[in-house]
Structure 1
Amino acid sequence: MGSELGITADSKPQAVYSAVSIWWAVWAGVWTVAVALGMAFLISRRHLPILRVRSLALSLSAIVLLHLYWLSVQFGVMIGPIMPGEAQYWLMGIWLPCGLALFHGSNSHFLHVAKLQKKYANYAEYQSHLRESPPDSRKNRGLIARFRRLEYSAKVVILVAISMFIQIFLTILMWLISRKWHDSWGIPGTEVHGTEMQKKVEQGRGWEWWPGVFWQVFWSWIVAPIILWNSRHIHDTQGWRAQTIGCSIAGLHATPMWLIGLFVPAMEVVNQYWIPPQWICLSILIIEICTIFLPCWEVMRHQSLHQETLDAIRQWELRTKGAGSDTKSMGSTATMVESMMSGWKSTNDSVLSDNSSRESILNMSALEYVLERNPMPLQKFSALNDFSGENVAFLTSVGEWKCSLPKVLQDSTGSLTANDKEVIRECFNRALYIYAEFISVSHAEFPVNISSQDLRKLETVFETPARILYGDEVEVDPATPFMKHGFSEPLASPSYSDFSESSVTAIKNRAQYMGEVPGSFNATVFEEAEQSIKYLVLTNTWPKFIKKRQSWTESTETLRSSPEMV
């Protein structure tokens, strides 16, 4: 048997320009261009909600390392005989396992986001739990306790860095103690003899390769199945679960088939056209499809749905123009919303059955009607399926805050008494929590996506009090707010269900800001941010929610009308 690049003792020390090698070289160039374009497409649209929640930095860094290994294998048939004997050892010992470590670190981000979003599925209950829970006075110390209190992204970086260090250390150690690649030092008896090609064949396999094999098995057969199992009940609208499943399954065959191709004599015929590491490259190919091209397709689908929603809104506005049309359109909208939320089609109107029905429900009035009357179904959908629960939770929190505003804050004319100032301070503290929980890029777990102008305006009002009350958190880039790599310790706090509590929610109802209330604070302080998030929900989450309700309604109608059910 030959080495993993298909070199045998009879191979000549020269490049191979056969039809097979040329095909793989051309294929490598074409696919590399496609991958580069796909990565550029995702980077250029990283501000979209569907991509902001993903850990693009980690996943694309992993793809770069994996693709470099993939390229070396595609050209292996052509330049294998003239490559240094240890070149493929270093490629498989460092680039491949390090790429896999980074990739599965980013892949686990899916589970982390889904876990944190659960609190938004029933946000009112979550808030009630916080009010009733006593503060956690335990002061866990030690390295493990400090590690547990780190941000999730920081934990991933540390674990991935440790695994990469171990792999690199073992790879270097195997190279140092084996005399396959050097004769002047190492363990006696590990050297190889014979012609140059015979040495390369032996250098291409052996016990020195087993650390790399172990890490491939660890990531593909231990970590990936765990991620796959934990994601079995998650059903998102962004294709993230499908991507995770595809990537987890993709690597299962790689190492076993690589070993079979390398050590089973019957595979010699196959190895002439498909060398053993091509089995690993097949899994890398599937990973690249799922990590790059599937999100690209989801982005285009999202943009198409976004444009479809805008067109429906425009048509609805044109249709409802004219004297006396507002009252009629509002009544029609309310009827359509109630029909959709009830889950049953009426005999006269069917939800989204025609263009006019779709236009009647894909508008701001319908969304506001749901937010005011029955936001819970939309709240659960946005949290458990769309991973944007913070948007609806922010809108409902602001709505409740506005409904509870006292008259003195709505009409600020005239002198204020001491009691009035105390009432305003109480309103400010509730607004301060909303800012820290949903808007602040320093404190919020999932900051809502508002314009930089609106963000700066709110920061002038709330940021200084937020830092005083909630502490100084690590600053993050507003463009990638979910990638917090800070190593500061958040406050210890009790847990709720199966997700941890942020330092902001731990302090709520247990501390109040007693400083001076900024003069720019008023009843309309959240107005621009609220309108911005309403529009974001209207054009992103709302149409997906309607489509899901329509699909559920149609399936229910099918069951009801089925002859077997009569």
Structure 2
Amino acid sequence: MGSELGITASDAELIDLSPVSIWWATWACVWTVCVLLGVTYLIINRNAQTLRIRGLTLSLSSIGLLHLYWAVCQFATMIGALLPGDCQYWVMGIFLPLGISLFHASSTRFLHVANLQKKYAQYGHHLFEISPEKPKSGLINRFRALSYNAKILTVVGIGMFAQIFLTVLMWVISRKWHSSWGIPGTEVHGTVMAQKTAQGSGWEWWPGVAYQLFWAWIVAPFVLWKSRHIQDTQGWRTQTIGCALANLHGTPMWLIGLYVPAMAPVNAVWVPPQWICLSIWIMEIFTVFVPCYEVWRSHTLRKETLDSIARWELKVKSSGSDEKSLNSTSTMVDSLMSGWKSTNDTIKTTDSRDSVLTMHALEHVLDRNPGPLQKFSALREFSGENIAFLTAVSDWKRSVPAAMLGGPSENAQDKTAIRECFNRALHIYAEFISVRHANFPLNISSQDMATLDAVFDKPTQLLYGEEREMNPVSPFDKFTFDLPSPALTESSEKAINPSTTEIRNLVQFWGKVPEEFAGSVFDDAEKSIKYLVLTNTWPKFIKERRTSVESAGSIQSDATAV
């Protein structure tokens, strides 16, 4: 039988400065520095779209706990003989299970976000009321009725409490680490090193083993199965799959290292916990460095898009044919959206690639046919709120009454029209901007947010109440598991349909319309979101459309040849 720290009864109670132990200690220091740099980079760029949607608080908290366990194990061959017999028991019984719980709770966020984004793909910017359902009796039904946040807190909290309780209970009832109390017959005997060797394994460790197997072999495969049809462009699904697969081998190989005598030569240089540490190392790569790469890629994509726009604008200015260029851009975009093979030759030219990445091309699609872009942003980018907001504001601007364009009016009809316009704007604010009520608050500057809050925040609180006190896009202000609004459950999704009465027809604000309210109230936020879409979502959407067109052209050519 092996030992958790790889020590044997014949080892001396001294620090080990062999090349193997020095290597692992050096590796621990180098990798820790790398992880810290990666975490720092993520925190600095925490407002990037790909990170805001992930929620850094939970994932980085789990990585912190797991890395503490990982670091202790790297020094096992060096200082294992000097550590108290129950040191590794507490490290593995506390840091590892708590870290694993938080991590897998974080991974379920992927499914939650994808589920919430479906409404933007299905209904765009239309705001529908969710028909209330009569609550069912019974503990299970009450649990199902909870929000995503409450469910995760409940499951993870119960699991953590159970694991800590069992860890403490095993330590108390066993005389392996204390001979003055506990169950008779559980003592260990012999020299100090013989006792430490025996303390490194045994039935006392099994609650932790079962806990790890539950998350790695039940929860993780469930998440993989539920996410099988999700294809995002932000590397989040890749991250989830990689971390789930990385956990599968850890606990079984740890048990083999402990209980298979033939593993003794391996344990001398690779202690049993290193198998779990290998899982943690892979998880850190996918949780820290894959998001870092995605942030870097988004920065690169933005720069490439801006360079492309600059080239196109320079060409247009030099040719002096603005109207002709705009018409050709519109034609090119229409061809891309239609997907006909006849556009294959034209969409491959440099000028064409530059023209379709311009703001005019984006606005043309938003005005004529935003549906495909809306679905792409919701299902692939998880940023469906951006396109939904732009289309909502566009529709709202077309309904702005003429009375708002002139000076103050005392006409009763004008006042009624202005109030109706304000109520429509109020619902746009609540759905897309308010950090208290929006599912996915828009990523706009604090100045723009403050300007809109001054106009809409108090009326929104009167209509909707105060949902939250925290800003969900600032992941380190307060610990949060969830997106800031109640989850859209499967049952509530079924209650949503295009024939349902819209919220704005049921709820109205009858107080005084703020003097700051004007037809241009959303202009700054609209410009900010358009720029964000232009430099992030739009080039990815164009690339996918081009690929689709080229694939369709290839298939059509093959069919013609046959």
TM-score, normalisation: structure 2: 0.93
Q: 1:395 aligns with which of 369, 385, 390?
A: 390
How many angstroms apart in 2 are the aligned matches of 1:72 and 1:404?
Answer: 64
Residue 195 of structure 2 is matched in structure 1 by 199
The equivalences for 1:245-256 within 5 A come to 245-256=241-252
How many angstroms apart in 2 are the aligned matches of 1:465 and 1:339?
Answer: 45
The equivalences for 1:274-285 within 5 A come to 274-285=270-281
The equivalences for 1:479-490 within 5 A come to 479-480=473-474
AA paired with 1:516?
Answer: K
Residue 56 of structure 2 is matched in structure 1 by 56
Root-mean-square deviation (CA, aligned residues, Å) is: 2.6
How many angstroms apart in 2 are the aligned matches of 1:184 and 1:483?
Answer: 42
Q: Does the Cα contact within 8 Å between 1:38 and 1:296 map onto a contact in 2?
A: yes
Following TM superposition, by how much is the alpha carbon of 1:459 offset from its aligned partner in structure 2, in angstroms? 1.1
- Give a deviation string over 1:482-526, Cα, whole Å, max 9, x none: 97569999699995436999xxx9854322111121122121111
Residue 383 of structure 1 is matched in structure 2 by 378
The count of residues paired between Structure 1 and Structure 2 equals: 557
Residue 105 of structure 1 is matched in structure 2 by 105
Q: 2:427 aligns with which of 412, 415, 433?
A: 433
Q: Tell me: higher relative CO, structure 1 or 2? Use CA pairs within 8 A at least 6 residues apart.
A: 2
Relative distance call for 1:546 and 1:383 in structure 2 (3 A) is: same
How many angstroms apart in 1 are the aligned matches of 2:483 and 2:529?
Answer: 30
SS at match of 1:82: coil
The equivalences for 1:107-506 within 5 A come to 107-124=107-124, 127=127, 130=128, 135-136=131-132, 138=134, 151-321=147-317, 324-346=320-342, 349-351=345-347, 353-409=348-404, 411-413=405-407, 415-477=409-471, 479-480=473-474, 495-497=491-493
- Give a deviation string over 1:156-210, Cα, whole Å, max 9, x none: 2343222111111110000000000001111111111111111111100000000
Relative distance call for 1:473 and 1:301 in structure 2 (3 A) is: same
Per mean C-alpha deviation after superposition, the further-off stretch among 76-85 and 138-147 is: 138-147
How many angstroms apart in 2 are the aligned matches of 1:19 and 1:139?
Answer: 64
How many angstroms apart in 1 are the aligned matches of 2:219 and 2:325?
Answer: 54
Q: Does the Cα contact within 8 Å between 1:175 and 1:208 map onto a contact in 2?
A: yes
- Give a deviation string over 1:128-171, Cα, whole Å, max 9, x none: xx36x7x4263668877776565533442343222111111110
The equivalences for 1:537-556 within 5 A come to 537-556=533-552
Per mean C-alpha deviation after superposition, the further-off stretch among 26-35 and 375-384 is: 26-35
- Give a deviation string over 1:446-504, Cα, whole Å, max 9, x none: 01111111111111111111000111111222643797569999699995436999xxx
Following TM superposition, by how much is the alpha carbon of 1:565 offset from its aligned partner in structure 2, in angstroms? 6.8
Q: Does the Cα contact within 8 Å between 2:69 and 2:95 map onto a contact in 1?
A: yes
Following TM superposition, by how much is the alpha carbon of 1:345 offset from its aligned partner in structure 2, in angstroms? 3.9
Q: Does the Cα contact within 8 Å between 1:2 and 1:201 map onto a contact in 2?
A: yes
AA paired with 2:232?
Answer: D
- Give a deviation string over 1:281-322, Cα, whole Å, max 9, x none: 110111001001111111111111110001111111111116
AA paired with 2:449?
Answer: L
Residue 67 of structure 1 is matched in structure 2 by 67
Per mean C-alpha deviation after superposition, the further-off stretch among 287-296 and 153-162 is: 153-162
How many angstroms apart in 1 are the aligned matches of 2:255 and 2:411?
Answer: 82
Q: Does the Cα contact within 8 Å between 2:148 and 2:487 map onto a contact in 1?
A: no
AA paired with 1:240?
Answer: W
Q: Which runs of 5 or more residues in structure 1 are unaligned?
A: none
How many angstroms apart in 1 are the aligned matches of 2:217 and 2:488?
Answer: 35
How many angstroms apart in 2 are the aligned matches of 1:500 and 1:257?
Answer: 48
How many angstroms apart in 2 are the aligned matches of 1:511 and 1:38?
Answer: 47
Following TM superposition, by how much is the alpha carbon of 1:559 offset from its aligned partner in structure 2, in angstroms? 2.3
How many angstroms apart in 2 are the aligned matches of 1:319 and 1:488?
Answer: 45
AA paired with 1:431?
Answer: A
TM-score, normalisation: structure 1: 0.93
SS at match of 1:81: coil
Residue 557 of structure 1 is matched in structure 2 by 553
Q: 2:514 aligns with which of 505, 512, 518?
A: 518
Relative distance call for 1:189 and 1:499 in structure 2 (3 A) is: farther
Name the % identity.
59
Q: Which runs of 5 or more residues in structure 2 are unaligned?
A: none
Following TM superposition, by how much is the alpha carbon of 1:25 offset from its aligned partner in structure 2, in angstroms? 1.1
How many angstroms apart in 2 are the aligned matches of 1:349 and 1:397?
Answer: 35
Q: Does the Cα contact within 8 Å between 2:47 and 2:473 map onto a contact in 1?
A: yes
Following TM superposition, by how much is the alpha carbon of 1:124 offset from its aligned partner in structure 2, in angstroms? 4.4
How many angstroms apart in 2 are the aligned matches of 1:242 and 1:490?
Answer: 27
How many angstroms apart in 2 are the aligned matches of 1:494 and 1:522?
Answer: 38
Q: Does the Cα contact within 8 Å between 1:149 and 1:490 map onto a contact in 2?
A: no
SS at match of 1:159: helix
